[in-house]
């Protein structure tokens, strides 16, 4: 009798994906992606416990992001070369070891090295997303990718409030221990459940990486979709970097618990991913892309309607978080649906390039947000945030109708 894991998926572009497997992949992506974001609201307590200077506190988050970025460029493309289930399990093992190391750390260097490796291991999620696209037939690929992406977005959006609540109940160490246990359990479940997927590619690793330059040069759909989402993800990062500062400031004076509850509001935006996937399957990618960009821009405008510090202002800020996250989740799914349709043989490399590009946009957005808030408060930061999706929309307007990605 064969187990699910003993089945081989080589060219299964035409087989249906079961709802159970889609749900499992969505949960796996959410649990894994959260690893990059757990430390964001805990930077202060972790820095104090490790004895880091105020200037070095940012390294707690930055090194995880650097590790993730390196993984996107150097490891995710291996999905076109290495059996996908095995690659995923290796990365989950790295993540589990690194999370355990972070939880055990009492000095800066071991924690920061663990943070770097957490980022590297977390790119398992970007092996799983194109893997899901491989399993899905063309007619429902957008729906499957959208459902998996909804899990990823839920993980990103829930990570901050979950880590805050766990720390409030226990300690920041426990956040990393719990996540390490989750990665090990997830690895066991995926090892048993996922079918094998052996890529047809025969390139050597060096040639594989070199081919990414050619793909970036010769794939206009990839370039456009990556730059569209770089603008939107920059706005997303700016919003979530600066709103905790705004909420904790003199206008709203929210506690860490209150800020964690605010972060939960953004979770509602994750429902956009499966909706966008279905729209793409019906050939509506162009109008859906325009609406997603408008939603992000409108989200920032909403925060200027009510008097600062009022109950109405807080309510509108919550609504803005939902609208903005909705637009970002939708556009991300539309972009991945577009690039995954370009060819199975280089799908992992396309995804690595796509993710790296907009991840850079997110890093720029975070930096801009911190600088703008220090210089001009929420007013300056929010107008820069508004300008980012407007720029993306302007670039989108140059796309020829007959060549929409």
| Per-residue pLDDT at 404 exceeds 60 | no
Backbone angles phi, psi at 201, to 5 degrees: -60, 140
| Per-residue pLDDT at 10 exceeds 50 | no
**Mean pLDDT (whole number) for 25-32:** 95
CATH of range 16-199; options 1.10.1060.10, 2.40.50.140, 1.20.1250.20, 3.20.20.70: 1.20.1250.20
Q: What is the DSSP letter of 194?
A: S
CA distances from 127 to 29, 55, 160, 342 (A): 10, 34, 23, 17
| Per-residue pLDDT at 350 exceeds 60 | yes
Contact (Cβ atoms closer than 8 angstroms) between residue 339 and residue 222: yes
| Per-residue pLDDT at 400 exceeds 80 | no
**Mean pLDDT (whole number) for 143-150:** 82
What does the CA dihedral 391, 223, 209, 142 come to, rounded to 10 degrees? 110
| Per-residue pLDDT at 403 exceeds 60 | no
Average pLDDT over the chain reads 87
Contact (Cβ atoms closer than 8 angstroms) between residue 150 and residue 329: yes
Instruction: Look at residue 341 in the predicted model and tell me its pLDDT.
Output: 83
- How sure is the predictor about 405, in pLDDT bands with cuts at 50, 70 and 90? low
| Per-residue pLDDT at 3 exceeds 80 | no
pLDDT tens digits, one per residue of 177-224: 999 999 999 999 999 999 988 887 677 888 888 888 888 899 999 999
Return residue ranges of the chain for CATH 1.20.1250.20: 16-199, 203-405
Instruction: Look at residue 55 in the predicted model and tell me its pLDDT.
Output: 63
**Mean pLDDT (whole number) for 145-168:** 85
SS3 assignment, position 196: strand
380 Cβ neighbours under 8 A, 6+ residues apart: 372, 373
CATH of range 203-405; options 1.10.10.10, 1.20.1250.20, 2.60.40.10, 3.40.50.1220: 1.20.1250.20
How far is it between the farthest Cα atoms of the chain? 67
- How sure is the predictor about 298, in pLDDT bands with cuts at 50, 70 and 90? very high
pLDDT tens digits, one per residue of 313-323: 999 999 999 99
Instruction: Between 153 and 305, name the one with better pLDDT.
Output: 305
CA distances from 225 to 76, 273, 334, 362 (A): 18, 16, 8, 15
Instruction: Look at residue 316 in the predicted model and tell me its pLDDT.
Output: 95
* CA–CA gap between residue 321 and residue 235 (Å, rounded): 11
pLDDT tens digits, one per residue of 72-130: 889 999 988 889 999 999 999 999 999 999 999 999 999 999 999 999 999 999 899 88
| Per-residue pLDDT at 9 exceeds 60 | no
* CA–CA gap between residue 75 and residue 336 (Å, rounded): 18
SS3 assignment, position 14: coil
* CA–CA gap between residue 265 and residue 280 (Å, rounded): 26
- How sure is the predictor about 71, in pLDDT bands with cuts at 50, 70 and 90? very high
| Per-residue pLDDT at 1 exceeds 50 | no
* CA–CA gap between residue 341 and residue 363 (Å, rounded): 27
* CA–CA gap between residue 94 and residue 98 (Å, rounded): 6
Contact (Cβ atoms closer than 8 angstroms) between residue 367 and residue 264: no
What does the CA dihedral 134, 138, 139, 142 come to, rounded to 10 degrees? 60
**Mean pLDDT (whole number) for 135-156:** 82
The tokens of 328 are what?
């970002």
- How sure is the predictor about 13, in pLDDT bands with cuts at 50, 70 and 90? very low
* CA–CA gap between residue 149 and residue 280 (Å, rounded): 14
Instruction: Look at residue 14 in the predicted model and tell me its pLDDT.
Output: 45
* CA–CA gap between residue 382 and residue 258 (Å, rounded): 21
197 Cβ neighbours under 8 A, 6+ residues apart: 8, 9, 10, 12, 83, 84, 85, 131, 134, 135
- How sure is the predictor about 35, in pLDDT bands with cuts at 50, 70 and 90? very high
* CA–CA gap between residue 400 and residue 396 (Å, rounded): 9
| Per-residue pLDDT at 7 exceeds 90 | no
**Mean pLDDT (whole number) for 156-164:** 85
* CA–CA gap between residue 315 and residue 310 (Å, rounded): 9
């Amino acid at each position: 009798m064969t187990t699910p894991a003993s089945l081989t998926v080589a060219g299964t572009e035409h087989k249906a994906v079961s709802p159970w497997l889609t749900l499992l992949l969505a949960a796996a992506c959410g649990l894994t992606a959260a690893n990059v974001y757990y430390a964001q609201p805990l930077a202060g307590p972790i820095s104090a416990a490790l004895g880091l200077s105020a200037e070095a506190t940012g390294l707690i988050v930055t090194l995880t992001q650097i590790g993730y970025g390196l993984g996107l460029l150097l490891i995710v493309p291996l999905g076109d070369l290495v059996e996908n289930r095995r690659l995923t399990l290796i990365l989950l093992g790295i993540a589990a070891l690194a999370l355990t190391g972070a939880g055990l750390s009492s000095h800066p260097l071991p924690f920061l090295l663990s943070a770097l490796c957490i980022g590297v291991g977390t790119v398992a999620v970007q092996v799983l997303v194109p893997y899901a696209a491989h399993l899905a037939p063309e007619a429902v690929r957008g729906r499957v990718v959208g459902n998996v992406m909804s899990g990823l977005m839920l993980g990103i959006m829930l990570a901050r409030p979950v880590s805050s609540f766990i720390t409030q109940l226990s300690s920041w160490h426990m956040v990393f221990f719990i996540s390490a246990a989750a990665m090990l359990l997830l690895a066991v479940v995926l090892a048993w459940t996922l079918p094998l997927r052996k890529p047809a590619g025969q390139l050597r690793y060096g040639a594989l990486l070199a081919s990414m330059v050619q793909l970036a040069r010769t794939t206009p759909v990839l370039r456009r979709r990556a730059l569209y989402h770089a603008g939107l993800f920059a706005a997303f990062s700016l919003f979530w970097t600066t709103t905790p500062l705004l909420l904790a400031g003199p206008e709203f004076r929210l506690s860490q618990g209150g800020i964690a509850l605010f972060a939960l509001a953004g979770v509602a935006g994750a429902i956009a991913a499966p909706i966008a996937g279905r729209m793409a399957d019906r050939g509506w990618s162009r109008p859906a892309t325009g609406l997603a960009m408008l939603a992000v821009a409108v989200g920032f405008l909403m925060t200027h309607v009510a008097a600062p510090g009022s109950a109405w202002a807080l309510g509108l800020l919550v609504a803005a978080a939902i609208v903005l996250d909705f637009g970002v989740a939708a556009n991300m799914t539309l972009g991945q649906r577009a690039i995954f349709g370009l060819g199975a043989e280089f799908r992992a490399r396309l995804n690595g390039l796509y993710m790296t590009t907009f991840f850079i946009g997110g890093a720029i957005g975070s930096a801009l947000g911190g600088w703008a808030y220090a210089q001009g408060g929420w007013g300056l930061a929010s107008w820069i945030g508004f300008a980012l999706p407007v720029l993306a929309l302007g670039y989108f307007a140059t796309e020829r109708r007959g060549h929409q990605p």
